[in-house]
Amino acid sequence: MIKNFKWLLLVSLTFMACNSDDDVAPVVESSDGKPLTAGSADFSKYVALGDSFAAGFSDNALFIKGQEGAYPNILAQQFALVGGGEFKMPFANDNIGGLLLGGNVVAGPRLYFNTKITPEHPASTVDPVSGVPTTEVTAHLSGTFNNLGVPGAKSFHLLAPGYGDVAGVALGKANPYFARFASSATTTVLADALIQNPTFFSLWIGGNDELGYATAGGDPAVNPLTPPATFEAAYKGLVAQLVAGGRKGVIANLPNITTLPHFHVIAYNQLTQANLTVEGVNMVAALNVQLYGPLHNALAYLGQGDRIKLLSTTENNPLLIVDENLPDLSANLKAVLMGGGLDATTATVMGQIFGKARQAVSTDLICLGASSRIGKAPSVPADGIASPSPSLSQLGITFPLPDRYVLLPSEVDEIEAATIAYNLVIEAAAEANGLAFVDAKTLMDQLNSSNGITANNFTLKSTFVTGGMFSLDGVHPSPRGYAFIANKFIEAINAKYGSNLKGVNIGNYPVLFPATL
């Protein structure tokens, strides 16, 4: 019987919290030292359309403090200096984060960086804050809202009637965040923006068209990749209505999302010797005798010995994963294992489990969501699959991580190709309609460089936790990251419309939210 192995994703880093979480006053000086002006733009009625970035989603949740620091809210504070009007936000109920649907928790609390060191907690970890969400989806917010950022929204969702119908949320036909504040059950996000007769808009959408697929490990059954033609039709439709009557605005393209920290926290060879030690006994030798050795020999007989090799007794070891691109050797494995003396039942199970399995390599990207599942027993609700064998039931160790946790090189290429196609559409829309344009792709490339980006004497990088740009979910910006994004939008607006807003000092925004707000 193969024993259960421990798995802890410990972020062993020393981290100093920066700045307070007090409200930040807008900067009143201009960018050029001249009197403040809106230029040719009219900010009197500003609406923001987009996804979780526009909403201020951070640390894997939507909560009040995160929403207050959303880039559209920072933009609105700047616009108010040159005639901008009120900017209404559909605030959550608390700073815990998460959602309730009919009293049941459907989205969990936000994350925080737990630096408390004790014998039971020997290293810093990323943990959920204490408390139960109080933001109820069915408690509808009345009125109109300027910030129409909807976490989870894809491009075509902004045009979809019923996307805010609370009755469709439990069925997966509507969005719980939009359902809280949609003007009606049949409206669209775009309609709720246009009904306000906006004078200026921001649109940053498309991230979820690829991100949902990427964070699902490229598994279309969990979350499909939006076809470029679908994205093009939706995006052109959005922009055409937003610019009607000569309305001005700012749009942004998309970064290469597979370079987000979400995909680079867990290494392909994440299994340390400590992970493979149970009650003080290193189990590598037992694993090699009972599982990895027989599998390697059987696969080698079939000419596929590189799929699974013996584990190292001294170095980190690769995770076991499913590679759907591999030929299915289930029947062949069963036959070879039986020929080697294994009973039919066990050989059948091993063939089923390892027919398309291999050890991960450096070009595989492991999703951050796998951190809570590695070493655990696979289950259909959590992982989409269960093990037919109790003794082969440790994800990534004795049972391969399913597709939803791993981006294969072919899937990375597929996502990057879609990103290129989406960005061509976005850039063409900016050029054709005379809109301000933010090159988020180039910014992300710079954040991934060794030098990062320096602003207000602070350096931002994409590095998880310590880089300052991203929050603890590895996808959404930190408070400082959102301030940086707002400044880049302001720079683009100034350049296009002749305004001279200065933006904010990103140093006035914290890198991470504390456990208690």
Measure the N-to-C terminal CA separation of the chain; round to a whole number of Å: 47
- DSSP H helices, 391-478, are 409-433, 440-447
| Among candidate residues 267, 256, 269, the one with its CA nearest the CA of residue 11 | 267
**Mean pLDDT in each 10-residue stretch from start to end of the chain (517 residues)?**
42 40 59 94 98 97 98 98 97 97 96 88 89 96 97 98 97 97 98 98 97 93 95 98 97 96 95 88 92 95 95 95 96 94 93 96 95 93 93 94 95 96 98 98 96 95 94 96 98 98 96 94
For residue 327, with 0-12 CB atoms within 10 Å meaning exposed, 13-18 middle and 19 or more buried, which class applies? exposed
- Specify the pTM: 0.90
Q: Which amino acid is at 205?
A: I
For residue 297, with 0-12 CB atoms within 10 Å meaning exposed, 13-18 middle and 19 or more buried, which class applies? middle
* Model pLDDT, residue 279: 82
Q: How far apart are CA 263 and CA 364, in angstroms?
A: 9
Contacts of 483 (CB under 8 A, 6+ apart): 69, 71, 74, 504, 505, 506, 508, 509
Q: Which amino acid is at 29?
A: E
The helix or strand, by DSSP H or E, that contains position 50, with its residue range, turns out to be strand 46-50
Tell me phi and psi for residue 228, to 5 degrees. Answer: -55, -35
Contact call for residues 375 and 5 (beta carbons, < 8 A)? yes
Contact call for residues 509 and 487 (beta carbons, < 8 A)? no
For residue 66, give both structure tokens.
Answer: 């995160």
Contact call for residues 492 and 20 (beta carbons, < 8 A)? no
Strands 458-460 and 453-455: antiparallel
Contact call for residues 403 and 322 (beta carbons, < 8 A)? yes
For residue 361, give both structure tokens.
Answer: 């390599």
Q: How far apart are CA 422 and CA 419, in angstroms?
A: 5
* Model pLDDT, residue 403: 93
| Among candidate residues 147, 136, 155, the one with its CA nearest the CA of residue 56 | 147
Greatest pairwise CA separation for the chain in angstroms: 86
| Sign of the torsion angle spanned by Cα atoms 389, 394, 399, 401 | positive
Contacts of 261 (CB under 8 A, 6+ apart): 368, 462, 463, 464, 467, 470, 474, 475
For residue 389, give both structure tokens.
Answer: 């064998």
Query: Going from the N-terminus, what domains does the chain have, and what CATH number goes with each?
Result: 46-95+142-264+427-508 (3.40.50.1110), 277-361+365-407 (no CATH)
| Among candidate residues 282, 263, 264, the one with its CA nearest the CA of residue 272 | 282
The helix or strand, by DSSP H or E, that contains position 114, with its residue range, turns out to be strand 111-114
Contacts of 361 (CB under 8 A, 6+ apart): 268, 318
